[in-house]
Structure 1
Amino acid sequence: MLLVIDVGNSNTVLGLYRGEELLRSWRITTDTSRTVDENAMLIHELFRLSEFHFTDIADVIISCVVPPMLTALEGLCRQYFKLKPYIVGPGIKTGMPIQYDNPREVGADRIVNAVAAYEKWRGSLIVVDFGTATTFDYISARGEYQGGAIAPGLGISSEALFERASKLPRVEFARPPQVIAKNTVNSIQAGLFFGYVGLVDGIVARMKMEARDEPRVVGTGGLAEQIARASESIDAVDPCLTLEGLRIIYTRNTPSNQSESAPRRSQ
């Protein structure tokens, strides 16, 4: 089986594939203070609860935007899986031309999302990923990554509001009953929720104008479902887009059915 790992600034998502089938996924907190052994214990326990074992893993591919985590995960793969993992970055085949001033600056997760979205929809696309930062990425009809925009994530925005405005309470992120709210909690929710929906729709509209195109808009990440229900621009939501992109990139860098064969042991 293939273990795919997507390391974000706030959360790390793991997925276990048999061929093209996603058997199970897990979301854990990204913690750079965890050692190789601590990460191994955590993943071992997640596997055990789902009746999987380390010996089931034939290969591993990692996308990471937190460099200290990458070192720990590479150590985990070598020590516990006896594998050298594939790392999404310079030198790996993605099958997608990167039309960016410096391709090395593009976050691995953005490329992985773009690859998965284009493989699934085969047309021009805007991928909106709701994470610690919210990223907007445009892929041309020819399957070229053209660039995009980065905005503060909703969590960052709300924390800044609570920290800087001493009288405002922390509130649950939720859609309030109306924009013209009648109490403080709903007022904050209205500003956060509808303000963020407006940000998404506004950036998408400007990207479409610049591209002179009508791309499909795909949302992914933790808040994608909530925002999509109120957004006028998001056409589809795929919560597993990044995991699927990792699987696709893995297949482009290995012989067919590698994840079904005996583990590729490190030397």
Structure 2
Amino acid sequence: MIIAVDLENKFTTFGVYSSEKSKNLKLISRFSLKTDTSKSTDELALLLKLMLVDREISLKNIKSIIISCVVPDMVPVYTEISKKLIGKAPIFVSAGVKTGLNVKCENPKEVGSDRVARAVSATHKYEKNLLIISASSITTIDFVNERREFIGGLIIPGIDLWQKSLFKETSKLPKVEIINTDKVLGNSTIRAMQSGLYYGYKNSIMGILEDIFKEYKLDKSEIKIILTGMYADFLLEDNASKFIYEENLALDGLKIIYEKNLK
């Protein structure tokens, strides 16, 4: 068994992969914890241990831990956690780790390991040109061509950060629930804010996709759009036929990277 860890700014997602019933590693359990830099190594190690015990997963069966981390302060923390739980340091997706991906950016080392993991997973499953959308607190859209070349992407605030800025940067606007709305125009302040968040976020993504198609002269029929992330539902509502939803895209990418480096 291995544990794949997708450590992002808001949540840390864990995937336990086992090869007990097949030659290939398969996802047998998935769970998340809030990313909390205030918690000690001991606290986080105990939480992780309890989550595994609750799922009847024995630490003695865990062979390795592989991590994508975009929160630098958590690197030493999870290094110690790995040593405490399985007796050795984890594998971090970073320079020197084989991915099978050709990152064509100005400085490949600057590309987040989360984006790399998602791209590895997507290119492993699909052969066409790919646009990969991660609809999380930090939303990314990346373009990977059919030759597994990571061309680049863009990074924008997630819908929850839009919500937070409306509430924190104004004197009178309240904090509202983020929901799908069926009317563009709201007939109250709260409904107007909810509509603005939903349609503003959704249409910004769709507009950016159109700009990418135009700039790179991409044939829409020859490209697959892969969608993942906690806010994917806001984009799937009216566009389910355009997107391929992959809940475990980053975790599967980490599993694939682990297997590549075994070889």
| Normalised-by-shorter TM-score class | over 0.9
1:42 aligns with 2:50: no
1:199 corresponds, among 199, 204, 212, to 204
Aligned-pair identity (%): 33
Taking the aligned partners of 1:119 and 1:2, their CA distance within structure 2 comes to 19
Taking the aligned partners of 1:233 and 1:181, their CA distance within structure 2 comes to 27
Q: How many Å apart are 1:166 and its aligned residue?
A: 2.2
Taking the aligned partners of 2:29 and 2:176, their CA distance within structure 1 comes to 31
Q: Which runs of 5+ in 1 are unaligned?
A: 256-267
Deviations 1:1-26 (A, max 9, x none): 01000100111000000133211111
| Residue aligning to 1:148 | 153
| Residue aligning to 2:128 | 123
Deviations 1:180-211 (A, max 9, x none): 22222221111000111111001111111122
Aligned counterparts, 1:46-125, within 5 A: 46-125=51-130
Aligned counterparts, 1:247-266, within 5 A: 247-255=255-263
SS at match of 1:73: helix
Taking the aligned partners of 1:129 and 1:243, their CA distance within structure 2 comes to 13
Aligned counterparts, 1:163-174, within 5 A: 163-174=168-179
Q: How many Å apart are 1:32 and its aligned residue?
A: 1.3
Alpha-carbon contact 2:9-2:71 (below 8 Å) kept: yes
Q: How many Å apart are 1:233 and its aligned residue?
A: 8.4
2:193 corresponds, among 188, 194, 197, to 188
1:221 aligns with 2:229: yes
Deviations 1:60-80 (A, max 9, x none): 100000011111001111122
2:138 corresponds, among 129, 133, 148, to 133
Alpha-carbon contact 2:16-2:27 (below 8 Å) kept: yes
* Matched residues, number: 255
Q: How many Å apart are 1:170 and its aligned residue?
A: 1.3
Higher relative contact order (CA 8 A, sep 6+): 1
Deviations 1:78-136 (A, max 9, x none): 12211221110100000010000000110000011011011111110000101221101
| Residue aligning to 2:247 | 239
| Residue aligning to 2:11 | 11
Matching residue's letter, 2:233: E
Alpha-carbon contact 1:204-1:233 (below 8 Å) kept: no
> What's the TM-score, normalizing by structure 1?
0.92
Taking the aligned partners of 1:121 and 1:212, their CA distance within structure 2 comes to 20
Matching residue's letter, 1:36: T
SS at match of 1:67: coil
| Residue aligning to 2:22 | none
1:230 corresponds, among 214, 223, 238, to 238
Matching residue's letter, 1:14: F
> What's the TM-score, normalizing by structure 2?
0.93
Matching residue's letter, 2:9: N
Alpha-carbon contact 2:45-2:84 (below 8 Å) kept: no
Distance 1:233 1:167, change over 3 A: farther
Greater mean alpha carbon deviation, residues 151-160 or residues 207-216:
207-216
Matching residue's letter, 2:205: V
Q: Which runs of 5+ in 2 are unaligned?
A: 20-24
1:30 corresponds, among 9, 14, 35, to 35
